[in-house]
Amino acid sequence: MTTEVPPTLPLPTDLADITPEWMTRALSAHHAGAVVDTVAITERDDGTNRRARLALTYATGTGPASVFVKGVDEAHKDLLRITSGLLHEPRLFASGVDLPVEHPTVFATQIDAESEDFVLVMEDLTERGADPRDATRPLTVEQAASGVRGLAQLHGAFWGERCSTPELDWLEPFHPWNGMEIAPLPAAYERMPEDTPPAVTSLGIDELLEKIWKPYIRTLTTTSQTLLHGDPHIGNTYLIGDQLGFLDWQVARRGNFSLDLGYFLQGALTVEDRRRAEWDLLGEYRDALGLPAGECPSAEEIELGYRASVAHGLTLWLCTASAGELWQRPDIAVALAERYAFAFDDLDTAEAIARLEH
C-alpha cells in the first residue's frame, strides 16, 4: 500500500523543506504509530530529477532510519515531458496495482498535477543490502536471468486486456518523441572501439531515427500490449542477493513486451555473454510469462521482437554518448552504446524491423 499525502499538507517546494509532520503522514500506512521527530538530508544528487537520502529520528514508535525521496527538477521538466512522463512514476505507485517484480517499496506519493510536481518517498535500498549496478559492472548470465523472469512476471500480469484497468487509464502508449535529431553522432563514434560494426558507424542521425528507431517504436502499439517499465537499462537495476530489481519507473508505458526485454538484456550483459546465452534467456522469458497457451506469444514472435528492439537501446545510447558528460558518465554511455551496436549487427535488427512493419 502506498500512502497518498493529502493536499492539506502542502507539497514541499524542495526536498530540504520536508517536515517531520509531512514525513509522519508519508510513513503512516507502513509504520502506524510512528511520529517522526527530525528529518535531515544526508546525501543529495539532483540530475534530471531531484533525489535525496533523508535520515529520520522518531519521537514515538519506530520506522526506517533513512528513506529515499524523489521529485521533479524544474530545470529538466521540458526534457522529462518529452522523453518520459513527469508524473508517471508517482501515478503508477499511487494506483495501487501490484507489480510482481522486485522494486523499491514506496511509502508515499504526493502529486500536484497542476504544477507538474511530485514527491515520492521510498525505502532506502541500502538498508536491505542492495547492490546498484551500471554498465561498468555488467550482470552475469544468472543475474540477468533473474531480471528476465521478473520482467516476464510483470508483463504476464498485465498482458492484453489486463493492462486496460481503471487504475491504469492514465497510462500512455509508447510513441516516438522528438529532440534527438540534434545529437552529433560522429562524436559518439569517435569514442567507440575500433571494431564497432560498420553497419552502425555508417549511420547518420536522420537514418538512425527515421529508418531504425521510429519504425521500431511505432510497432510497439500495433502488436501485443502490456505494462512496460519503459527504461530497464542496467543503470536502473539493483541486486539483493541473486534477485534483480528495477528502479526508476518514470517511463512506464503501455506497449509491446520486446522493448523491456531487449533493452534490458542487450545492455546488461557483456557482448560475449549475450551471444552465448540470449536464446536460452528468451526461452526463460516465455516460460515465466505464466500466460494461457492461447495468449502466450510464440518463440518466433519473441525472437523477432527481441531482434528488432536493439533499435531503442542503440539510438538512446549513441545519442547519450555523443553528448559527452552532459547526460551520463562517458564510460557508462560508451559501454552501453558498444553493446547495442554489436547486438544491432549480430541480430540483423534492420531486417527484423522490416519484417515487423509488414
Q: Which residue has the higher pLDDT, 77 or 329?
A: 329
pLDDT, average across residues 165-178: 94
Residue 296 pLDDT > 90: yes
Q: Which residue has the higher pLDDT, 203 or 86?
A: 203
Q: Which residue has the higher pLDDT, 262 or 82?
A: 262
Give residue 128's region: left, alpha or beta (phi > 0; psi -120 to 50): alpha
C-beta separation of 224 from 156 below 8 A: no
- For residue 34, what pLDDT band results from cuts at 50, 70 and 90? very high
pLDDT, average across residues 84-93: 88
**In the prediction, which pLDDT does 358 show?**
81
Domains of the chain: 3-128 (3.30.200.20), 131-357 (3.90.1200)
**In the prediction, which pLDDT does 46 show?**
76
Distance CA 320, CA 230 (A): 17
Residue 150 pLDDT > 90: yes
Distance CA 146, CA 168 (A): 26
pLDDT, average across residues 324-348: 93
25 alpha-carbon distance from chain centroid: 28
Instruction: Look up the pTM and report it.
Output: 0.95
**In the prediction, which pLDDT does 85 show?**
75
**In the prediction, which pLDDT does 309 show?**
98
pLDDT digits (tens, 9 = 90+) for 297-322: 999 999 999 999 999 999 999 999 99
Query: Across the chain, what does the average pLDDT equal?
Result: 94
Residue 347 pLDDT > 80: yes
Residue 173 pLDDT > 90: yes
- For residue 72, what pLDDT band results from cuts at 50, 70 and 90? confident
Other residues' Cβ atoms within 10 Å of the Cβ of residue 50: 21
DSSP state of 73: -
Locus of grid cell 534490458: 264
Lowest mean pLDDT among 75-89, 206-220, 276-290: 75-89
Residue 77 pLDDT > 80: no
Residue 340 pLDDT > 70: yes
**In the prediction, which pLDDT does 356 show?**
94
Query: What does the block give as the cell for 267?
Result: 545492455
SS3 221: coil
**In the prediction, which pLDDT does 78 show?**
72
Residue 239 pLDDT > 90: yes
Distance CA 97, CA 21 (A): 27
Distance CA 198, CA 272 (A): 19
pLDDT, average across residues 128-133: 97
**In the prediction, which pLDDT does 76 show?**
62
Residue 6 pLDDT > 70: no
